[in-house]
Amino acid sequence: MKAMRLRNNLIVIVCLAVLYFGIAYAIDNRLISSFHQVNLYLLGINIIMAVSLNLIVGFTGQLALGHAGFMAIGAYVSAILTLKLGQPFFPAVLAGALATGLVGVLIGLPTLRLRGDYLAIATLGFGEIIRGLLININYVGGAAGMNGIPKLTTWTWLFIFTVATVLLIKNFINSSHGRACIAIRENEIAADAMGINTTFYKVLAFSIGAFFAGLAGALYAHYFFLIQPQTFTILKSFDALVMVVFGGLGSITGSIIAASAITIMNAALQSLGALRMVIYALLLVVIMVFRPQGLLGTKEFTFGTLLRQKGGSGQHDYRKQTD
């Protein structure tokens, strides 16, 4: 098992290295157009958003719709630090993510005692409150937003933060804390009866998800160099939720695949204008009708399972996220 795990880790490292250096070479030599570069960066940001929201919705079972608000906090805090206070990029991004995580704790303590639709409405209201506050704060430009933010999000930074997000959340889920979150998702009453501090773990998952949503917002702000309150509407939260549901509630690889597919699909349908939203919605309806559990459900796709399938077992053997 140790040898197989080491081999799988080496395969992942090699694949990531090839991906990083291949895209870096293509960008440096202008083999990728500006349009495709924009969508490449959006793909990385969407992966961070989807994986972080999946921790809250998929693995902990809490229907939260305020991810756009967390993204806005990370974007504005980091932009203030770089644009107005002249701070370096990495500390600004980290400060934006930490500030968002702290807000996640403050919001999570009162709201996560709610369940189901009530929690969804409360977190939805939080996102709208954040947007309303940003519109009325002149220091951050009000409704016009902040312009001229330094374009400091490079392919290297995006790649590092995206990989780090996936690895950290994956390790958290595979830890005893992650198993406690999964137990809460399966049956909160039973988890509480077994001695699991359900409020603590729900707030913990909520704050970690908020932290990485703030990270995504900071990367977004420093690539597009213009942020406005209207960028972080409820539609942005629904976009992340669609990616999570499409990929599978409780599947990290499902979120990665879904975020990539939806970003590519939006880019491919860009020339159709408003019609692309109709096609996009129809595709999602078809998928939800014929595959309501999402692409992978609660399962993960790994190189180990692929190698075992090629070994002649004759059966598709996907490991669940708790393996």
Measured CA to CA, the distance from residue 242 to residue 194 in angstroms comes to 33
Domain regions of the chain by residue span: 42-320
Measured CA to CA, the distance from residue 303 to residue 309 in angstroms comes to 10
User: What residues have CB less than 8 Å from 162, skipping those under 6 apart?
Assistant: 44, 47, 48
Measured between alpha carbons, how far is residue 309 from residues 7, 123, 313 in Å? 16, 42, 6
Asked if pLDDT for residue 120 goes beyond 90, the answer is no
Tell me the average pLDDT across 119-126.
Answer: 87
pLDDT one-digit tens code per residue, 13-49: 999 999 999 999 999 998 988 889 999 999 999 999 9
Find, among 55, 69, 45, 44, the residue nearest to 208 by Cα. Answer: 55
Measured CA to CA, the distance from residue 296 to residue 294 in angstroms comes to 6
pLDDT one-digit tens code per residue, 168-201: 999 999 999 999 999 999 988 899 898 899 889 9
User: Hey, what are 303's tokens?
Assistant: 């190189």
Measured CA to CA, the distance from residue 116 to residue 218 in angstroms comes to 29
Domain covering 42-320, topology: ABC transporter involved in vitamin B12 uptake, BtuC (1.10.3470)
Asked if pLDDT for residue 316 goes beyond 80, the answer is no
At 303 the pLDDT is 52
At 305 the pLDDT is 52
At 25 the pLDDT is 94
User: What residues have CB less than 8 Å from 227, skipping those under 6 apart?
Assistant: 72, 75, 76, 79, 145, 146, 149, 220, 221
User: What residues have CB less than 8 Å from 121, skipping those under 6 apart?
Assistant: none
pLDDT one-digit tens code per residue, 254-289: 999 999 998 998 888 877 777 777 777 787 788 778
Query: Which of 205-209, 221-225, 310-314 comes out lowest in average pLDDT?
Result: 310-314
Measured CA to CA, the distance from residue 265 to residue 269 in angstroms comes to 6
At 323 the pLDDT is 41
Measured between alpha carbons, how far is residue 18 from residues 12, 22, 136, 259, 261 in Å? 10, 6, 46, 21, 21
Q: Are 151 and 222 in contact (CB under 8 A)?
A: yes
At 91 the pLDDT is 95
Query: Which of 3-7, 102-106, 118-122, 303-307 comes out lowest in average pLDDT?
Result: 303-307
Measured between alpha carbons, how far is residue 315 from residues 108, 150, 258 in Å? 43, 52, 24
